[in-house]
Amino acid sequence: MSAQSHAQGHGHHRNYVKIWAILVGLLVVSVLGPMTGIREVMLITAFGVAAVKAYIVAKNFMHLDIEKPIIRWTLAIAVVFMVLLYAGVAPDVQKSDGQHWKKDAGFHHLPAQPQHEGAHAEGAENGSHAPAEGAKEQPQGATGH
């Protein structure tokens, strides 16, 4: 589509005031939803309606429906990155515990279990939290948190 035909496609057959009125109606729905006190209704009216509102704005005000497909695909790729971020990080963030860590009021590292019983006993006697002898040979930075 040429720039001229793109421009011609914008204003025609679109009643922007009517589209705005629909958006305001959806806003009212999203505000009234939580007043029902039903969690499922609140989630649908808040986030479902938000998605519909965003779609209406993108389609009718940003004219994505008549924009070149490459733009829609590029935007979609950015959204996919958001989903990937969530899928990759959420399991750790939303879990309450894992290997050598747990969450309660805050985030805590748990001391690693000693490899050798002797090293543990020696450290406990000295009241020291120094790493075991073998750990000293590791390069600096290898034990960083």
Partner 1 sequence: MKTIATTRSATGIPTGRLAVWWVLVSEIVIFGGVLVSYVMHRLGHAEWAEQAAHTHMWLGAFNTLVLLSSSLSAVLAHQAAEKGDGKKAANLLYLTCLGAVTFLIVKSFEWTNEIKEGFTIQSGGFWSYYYTAAGLHAFHVIAGALIMLWVANSAKKNQDLHRVENIGIYWHFVDIVWIFLFPLLYIAK
Q: Under the rule (CB under 8 A), what is the footprint of partner 1? A: 1-3, 7, 10-11, 16-17, 19-20, 23-24, 27, 30-31, 33-34, 42-43, 46-47, 49-50, 53-54, 57-58, 60-62, 67-68, 70-71, 74-75, 77-79, 81-82, 85-86, 89-90, 93-96
Nearer to partner 1, 11 or 144 (CB): 11
Provide the residue type at 68 as one letter. K
82, 88 Cβ separation under 8 angstroms: no
**Cβ 108 to partner 1, closest distance in Å?**
15
Nearer to partner 1, 28 or 112 (CB): 28
Within 13 Å of residue 78, how many CA atoms lie on the same side as its CB? 5
β-pairing, 101-103 vs 107-109, is antiparallel
Within 13 Å of residue 107, how many CA atoms lie on the same side as its CB? 6
